[in-house]
Amino acid sequence: MIDLRSDTVTKPDERMRKAMYEAEVGDDVYGEDPTVNKLEEMAAALLGKEDALFVTSGTQGNQIAGLVHCLPGQEVIMESQAHIFLYEAAALSAFSGVQIKTIDGENGAMNPAEVEAAVRGEDIHQPETGLICIENTHNKAGGAVVPLENMEAIYQVAKQNDIPVHLDGARLFNASVASKTPIKEFAKYTDSVQFCLSKGLGAPVGSIIAGSSEFITHARKWRKRLGGGLRQVGVLAAPGIIALEENIVRLQNDHANAKHLAEGLQAIEGLTIKNSVDTNIILVDISNCGLSTDAFVHQLKNHDILTGAFGPNTIRFVTNNGICEEDIGTVVVKVKKIVKA
């Protein structure tokens, strides 16, 4: 089975499994797990932040950031198709007690002038703006890289209005590799940042949030409140260390495979590639091929290919470290057969 549903389907390789088995562990709630401590130190250094914290998931990391930065009754600005808005079960409202103000972006990037216009003034009828969120890469925009210049401009708006900026960087290393920009440059225009170890980086579980030492002190308590204070968690942190040491550069293979797949699919009459394929996500419009998305996904599964619907007429293909160049050719051949039939 060729699984292109997401880069979350990756499985730990033998190096990671061996590292999990051999990991030196301790009680992380006491700060005594040396493997977790090493991972957090590595992550903070990579991002150029003072401190970092291992969390169970990207969603937990994003929610902790909201809880640290915001007060109940405030408002959070983000792009209208942001993962936090669409796919995190309204957790910001449920946990932080805030409402979300959305701005339609272009390829996932908000216009800084529109962000500035959305910042609330002094009015007793309105909530205060408590946080601005950026997503990079932007999932719903097809893994688009939000330009560094855009992030900098939004960050300047935020600083002028004394508002923190949080980066949902679940696939931030994809943005860094694709744009050939050091990860620190993206993190520089944030007050906090979250990235996933369990997507393209290939670890089986976990994410990192990073920021100032004060931010992480508060984040650690919120993690505990959310039930995320784990014990001998070095067995989960160990593959994260390998992910950061060895799997960042290999993301370029995923990007190359995605571009190759997009070229092959675009050549099939009836299919249209909807995004620019900056990284490892391809969005395919199937509206002219005579099949519904559910029927298309079902047909692909019958041909040993797993994908997912991503809108009324869109199928999403996501390359990952379980996909090789040979798989790409196989997928193109089978998709062409389905469309012709």
Residues 263 and 215 in one domain: no
Task: Give the pLDDT confidence of 46-56 residue by residue, as tens digits.
Answer: 999 999 999 99
Q: Does the pLDDT at position 340 exceed 90?
A: no
Query: Do the Cβ atoms of 187 and 49 come closer than 8 Å?
Result: yes
Q: Do 207 and 74 share a structural domain?
A: yes
Which residues are CB-neighbours of 89 under 8 A, at least 6 positions away? none
Which of 246, 278, 312 is the last residue before a domain boundary? 246
61 is a domain residue: yes
- Mean pLDDT, the chain, integer: 97
Nearest alpha-carbon partner for 161 in 73, 49, 75, 61:
75
Distance CA 290, CA 339 (A): 8
How many domains does the chain divide into? 2
* Residue-wise pLDDT tens digits, 277-324: 999 999 999 999 888 999 999 999 999 999 999 989 999 999 999 999
**CATH at 104:** 3.40.640.10
Mean pLDDT in residue range 86-104: 97
276 occurs within a structural domain: yes
Clarify whether residues 232 and 291 are in a common domain: no
* Region for 90 from its dihedrals, namely left if φ exceeds 0, alpha if ψ lies in -120 to 50, beta otherwise: left
Helix axes 234-246, 34-47, angle to 10 degrees: 30
Residue 341 pLDDT level (bands cut at 50, 70, 90): confident
Tell me, yes or no, whether 2 lies in a domain: no
313 within 8 A of 328, measured Cβ to Cβ? no
pLDDT of 155 reads 98
- Which structural domain range is residue 280 located in? 250-340
CA-closest candidate to residue 136, choices 93, 114, 169, 100: 169
Residue 290: predicted pLDDT: 85
Q: What is the pLDDT of residues 13-71, one digit of tens each?
A: 999 999 999 999 999 999 999 999 999 999 999 999 999 999 999 999 999 999 999 99
My answer on whether 114 and 227 are in the same domain is yes
CATH of the domain at 334: 3.90.1150.10
| Tens of pLDDT, residues 115-167 | 999 999 889 999 999 999 999 999 999 999 999 999 999 999 999 999 999 99
Q: Point out the domain boundary residue: 190, 222, 246.
A: 246
Q: Which of 208, 229, 246 is the last residue of a domain?
A: 246
Residue 262 lies in a domain: yes
The mean per-residue pLDDT over the stretch 85-105 comes to 97
Both tokens assigned to 323: 């996909």
* Separation between Cα atoms, residue 90 and residue 113, nearest integer Å: 26
- In a shared domain, residues 283 and 195: no
- Please tell me whether residue 208 adopts helix, strand or coil conformation: strand
**Strand partners for 3:** 306
Q: Which two tokens stand for residue 296?
A: 């298309």
The fraction of the chain above a pLDDT of 90, given in percent, is 97
Is 220 part of a structural domain of the chain? Answer: yes
